[in-house]
Amino acid sequence: MNTRENSVDQSDRLREKCAVFGIYGAKNAAKLTYYGLWALQHRGQESSGIASSDGKALYRHSAFGLVANVYTDEDLATLKGTTAIGHNRYSTNGGADPQFNQPYVSNNRVFTLAHNGNLPLVDKLSEFLSSVNIDHAEMNDSGMMTAAIDHELGNGATIDQAVTTVFPLLEGAFSVTAVYNEKLIAFRDQYGIRPLSLAKLDGGYVVASETCAFDTIGAEFIRDIEPGELVVIDESGVTSHQIVKPDLKFDIFELVYFARPDSVLMGKTVSSVREKYGIQLAKEYQFDADIVVPVPDSSIPAALGYAKASGIPFEMALIKNRYINRTFISPTQELRERDVMLKLNPIIDLLKDKKIVLIDDSIVRGTTMKKVVKMLRGVGVKEINLLISSPPVKYPDFYGIDTPSQDDLIASRMSTKEIRQWLGVDWLGYLSYDGMIEATGVSRDQLCTSCFDGNYPSPIGRRADEIRFVEEKIATGAYSHSAEDDE
């Protein structure tokens, strides 16, 4: 969901850009979509929107803010019909413009679409829209996709014909839900980079970015929508069209960080995969330490796995303030400088004079981790051995994750030893690439690992000029904290 603004979010976390949800055959479709979006809030916190259909008209409500704040009972009551789609948005580039809020609705209000992912290359799509005299100068990739499909529908194509015609023009990552004539439509790019799953509910059907949304509304998981597959759901049931041959390249960062731990991706519970990352870390790095401490929340399963495999006690010695969220109220400069203390509170009795193994899932710019380390030193931690349950993030993402430019990724410009010294930790170790693949339990050729190795399965066009390949050996095998860090 690429926007055309140029400002950059300075967060020190990688962020998913969007979540999609769709439901067919439910009397309270909009209300169930609301609950589904609530379960998917972690995938986007900037804005939220729902569009519904009663077979006669489309209805839409969208606004900036978290799901809990965007909708009232009155808003949901205006979203009539038994078919609905929803979208949570996090834009990569500022994006404080309501024209980019989803779902998109066609000009004649017969078609609506929600998109998770990003099309880094839109040349074919742009040429097509120009050839049919559609002004798309102010459209982002999602808007262009909507306009192209709507054009085909306007020429008399069925929805499956329209999507099939436009599909070859879409280059990048897309998991899409849409509504046309009360039909629910879902389709996924040929690499299946972003997740999309199908479930059933009381005679109807549900589609969502993650299975945790199904659990929230009591839907029963059926299967993942296949890469390159188009699903059309109407009164006759589910019809599948395999538009292109699938070539699965699922983004491993969904398992490393983005997805909720209770979701099931590629047949695996996310929490169990992350725990295996921690177990693998314990095989690769061994320490004489007092406790294992996770940076909450996403690294908790990996820390549990490391503690289990190493025999070092696990302690929740950093407590997260769960009521700190993205906000439109700007804090003072003093509070901005204390943002880590606002989000994390150390339990001093567990940390003072201790040698700890600190576990986190990734390092992006490193600025947040540096503040965490300073905080831990301030409460008297004796030794900090930092382990990351993924390899170094060296390359930007172009498929729907908010990453900074490559020069802002600390691992792209510093060696592991230099990062360790800059952070002020006694030891820094990353999960090896091979160890990550082994712990994931999925064939390497079914995974997209572009953030780690710069290998982009879908063309990124001119964005390739932004990539500078970084060579640094990431060691494998067992190490103790006293080993010489010669990386």
- Give the mean pLDDT of 241-269: 96
Q: How confident is the model at residue 204 (pLDDT cuts 50, 70, 90)?
A: very high
Digit-coded pLDDT (tens) for 365-401: 898 999 999 999 999 999 999 999 999 999 998 898 7
Q: What is the rounded average pLDDT for all residues in the chain?
A: 89
pLDDT at 44 over 80: yes
Q: Which among 392, 320, 396 is positioned nearest to 362, based on CA atoms?
A: 392
The pLDDT value given to residue 14: 53
Stretch 141-167: mean pLDDT: 96
Q: Of 114, 104, 234, whose CA–CA distance to 182 is shortest?
A: 234
The predicted-structure confidence for 324-354, as pLDDT tens digits, reads as follows 654 434 445 455 456 666 788 999 999 999 9
Answering whether pTM is above 0.75, one says: yes
Dihedral of the alpha carbons of 212, 216, 220, 221, in degrees to the nearest 10:
-10
From 18, 212, 448, 451, active-site residue:
18
Is residue 483 predicted with pLDDT exceeding 50? Answer: no
Could you count the other beta carbons within 10 Å of the beta carbon of residue 463?
Answer: 13
Task: Give the phi and the psi of residue 116 in degrees, each rounded to 5.
Answer: -110, 125
pLDDT on residue 461: 84
pLDDT tens per residue, range 71-90 = 999 999 999 999 999 999 98
CA–CA separation, 434 and 485 (whole Å): 19
The answer for 362, left when phi > 0, alpha when psi is -120 to 50, beta otherwise, is: beta
pLDDT for res 338: 60
pLDDT band at 323 (very low <50, low <70, confident <90, very high): low
**What does the pLDDT average to over 54-78?**
95
Strands, DSSP E only, in 142-284?
A: 171-180, 183-188, 197-201, 204-208, 220-224, 229-234, 237-242, 250-251, 264-265, 268-269
Rounded Cα–Cα distance for residues 280 and 303 (Å): 11
Residue 18 annotated to the active site: yes
Asked if pLDDT for residue 294 goes beyond 50, the answer is: yes
